[in-house]
Structure 1
Amino acid sequence: MLDKLEAIKERFEDVGQLIIQPDAMSDMGKYTKLTKEYKELERVVAVYEMYKLVLENIDSTKALLDKEKDPDFREMAKVELDELKEKQIQMEEEIRQLLIPKDPNDSKDCILEIRAGTGGDEAAIFAGDLFRMYERFCEKQGLQLTVLDLTFGSAGGYKEIISTVSGVDAYGRLKYESGVHRVQRVPATETQGRVHTSAATVAVLPEMEEVEVEIDMNEVRKDTYCSSGPGGQSVNTTYSAVRLTHEPTGLVVTCQDQKSQIKNFEKALKVLRSRIYEIELAKHNETVGAQRKSMVGSGDRSDKIRTYNYPQSRVTDHRINKTVYNLPDVMEGSIEDFISALRLAENAEKMKMGGMEEN
């Protein structure tokens, strides 16, 4: 571990020199990546320096115990040594957490897609409830949510709603929400008071840049049409809404939130790029092997991840067996506890996998 930390310190010093070079800002893309890397390494190096100091103090205290004869002084030194060893254990755990490889996509903006699943009208209403939950969560976290395209349900809610979420670590905060969300409650349309089970799927995709996912525009068909609102009413009379069809994959993306066709085209292209990335990532995960795929952070939209039980005011996340009995708060966007627990679980999986690879 010390060798790894020393290598990180050397890289930290190298990056520090690179960002102060006279021509460092000539390439802003490269400069931004370097400054971001510098900040990430800075935290690890700061803990490493404190850790080295603790080790030095342990060695000096041990040396003192070997030489010191005074009983009272030896007792004080023993107490100090115990405290230092406890501090060493705590810092080693902190360092292991810091050395866990981060998902490079965590800092990106993301695409949030919610679709009604099984359950008819009730599923669409539940999809609307989930969207409101994420809307409240984004407000609390200082993230900006922008709707790109939506299809209303006949009894309320949405058959489908697609949004972008931008802000600090937008994807890193929402990525664990991908999968099937299940609701158990008495639908408004139920006349006999029976509890029904419905579902909606959530997909969270990192927003990819053009240099990260290349698209051959000769393979993309672009159609334009008039934007429409609730009930099919016309929002504008110009052909500003955009539909993109990626012929090799059959993916279709629409965007109609802007009055400008150019802006809608740009946003639709971002969504298409992210969906193509998701397909390529799924292929990669299959190639790498299931044993390296974290069940916590897999993001597979076919996985049943969470159940919202209204009669019991219960929310259960099936990936980590975490249950809370504050459903109203959760539906108002209080999902931070789930996200924190999922992040810890994924880090524990990564640490375990790292240990297996070292053996």
Structure 2
Amino acid sequence: MPELPDLNPFVDRLADLDRQMAEPDFFSDPRKSADLSREHQKLTRLLELRDRFMAAGKQLEENKELMADTEADEELREMAAEEVPQLEEQLEKLYEEVLESMLPPDPSDSRNTIMEIRAGTGGDEASLFAGDLFRMYSRFAERQGWRIEELSSNESEVGGFKEIIFSVSGDSVYRDLKWESGVHRVQRVPTTEAGGRIHTSAATVAVLPEAEEVDVQIDPSELEITVARASGPGGQGVNTTDSAVQILHKPTGMIVKCADERSQLKNKNKAMKVLRSRLLEQKEREEQEKYAANRKSQVGSGDRSERIRTYNFPQGRMTDHRINLTLYSLDELMEGGLSPVVEGLQEADKKQRIEAILDTSSAN
């Protein structure tokens, strides 16, 4: 029977939550009470699984003892032997469920998301690929029932985007999209290539959990906000007001521009949404680096400078280099069929985190 890691810290935490939830003013802060209630529910399930695991293990031991008892009734010994494979399978399943339940949830998983796609190396072809990636994520969002809102964009002369920033809203958006951060490489024959030669170009993707005002406190005195006349297509469509907004966050040097709306206020609000999300991502990344510095990451750091995926159009192949996953269904993937990739990355991350728990447990 496999040995479970030490669960006493979880027992102590559940007892602490019981005390907090018994306080008269527990529901005075709805957000905090909801978070603690979810944690209480998760811990209760973990300990219930532990109890079922221990009960199944005890039953397995009793069956084996009965099988070894030569003086026991033969029919009972046969019944015990028949139950052993089922109990062993049940024990293995419960063991995996206990380990999974020990994994701490990512507090950002349920958040909406800000995505930024930028053309990288490859000139015009890179901007076209950036546009293809935006279309791919838009199709995936449609399949998931999510909503996309464009926040800022800079289109290239040949189509596609030099840069596009957009928000994705819905259930568990960040949980499914957070692994998309990094360099996406494409190999294909550009439409402008007369000789039919395959070119390699790239686009970078950044995925940021959408921040709320309570998550990141921004001192207005640390902002430098400038406005300018937004560029337009000319004629009646040209924007004749100073509606384009640029925000500089002085402490970090971050600059956010937004000119998509005709309203200066709307552009400012969109720019602030992006700025808060970038600051939250920076804050969370610094926290993660504190405990992850000495741990090898199987899935990847989420760093946008890390090459994560190759899209090979001549071969109809997509390869995710972090988990060595290759799929020969590129057309379906580009139409938003990303679920197999997302599920593969989530499974790899889960295994990695379980291994970390077992390593910590064995070290102690």
After TM superposition, the score normalised by the length of structure 2 is 0.87
- State the match for 1:25 in structure 2: 27
Of all paired residues, the percent bearing the same amino acid is 48
Task: Indicate whether 1:110 and 2:113 are aligned.
Answer: yes
One-letter code aligned to 2:357: G
**Alignment gaps of 5+ in structure 1:** none
- State the match for 1:95 in structure 2: 98
**Partners of 2:140 and 2:22 in 1: CA distance:** 39
Task: Indicate whether 1:138 and 2:141 are aligned.
Answer: yes
One-letter code aligned to 1:57: Q
**Partners of 2:352 and 2:213 in 1: CA distance:** 32
Deviations 1:235-278 (A, max 9, x none): 65444442211123221112344554434323322211222333
One-letter code aligned to 1:177: E
- State the match for 1:350 in structure 2: 353
For these two proteins, the number of residue pairs brought into alignment is 359
One-letter code aligned to 1:30: K
One-letter code aligned to 2:332: D
**Partners of 2:207 and 2:174 in 1: CA distance:** 7
**Partners of 2:55 and 2:323 in 1: CA distance:** 37
Task: Indicate whether 1:203 and 2:206 are aligned.
Answer: yes
Shift, 1:180, TM fit: 0.5
**Partners of 2:329 and 2:25 in 1: CA distance:** 55
One-letter code aligned to 1:150: S
- State the match for 1:79 in structure 2: 82
Distance change (3 Å), C-alpha of 1:329 and 1:216:
same
One-letter code aligned to 2:196: G
**Partners of 2:174 and 2:271 in 1: CA distance:** 18
The aligned runs of 1:158-307 (5 Å cut-off) are: 158-228=161-231, 234=237, 236-284=239-287, 288=291, 290-292=293-295, 294-307=297-310
**Partners of 1:316 and 1:254 in 2: CA distance:** 33
**Partners of 1:198 and 1:35 in 2: CA distance:** 48
Counterpart secondary structure, 2:88: helix
After TM superposition, the score normalised by the length of structure 1 is 0.88
Counterpart secondary structure, 2:35: helix
- State the match for 1:155 in structure 2: 158
Contact 1:226 1:237 in 2 (8 A): yes
Contact 2:298 2:348 in 1 (8 A): no
Deviations 1:138-157 (A, max 9, x none): 11112222110000011000
Contact 2:189 2:196 in 1 (8 A): yes
Contact 1:114 1:162 in 2 (8 A): yes
Contact 2:4 2:95 in 1 (8 A): no
**Partners of 1:67 and 1:14 in 2: CA distance:** 49
Task: Indicate whether 1:44 and 2:46 are aligned.
Answer: yes
Shift, 1:69, TM fit: 1.7
- State the match for 1:323 in structure 2: 326
Shift, 1:202, TM fit: 0.3
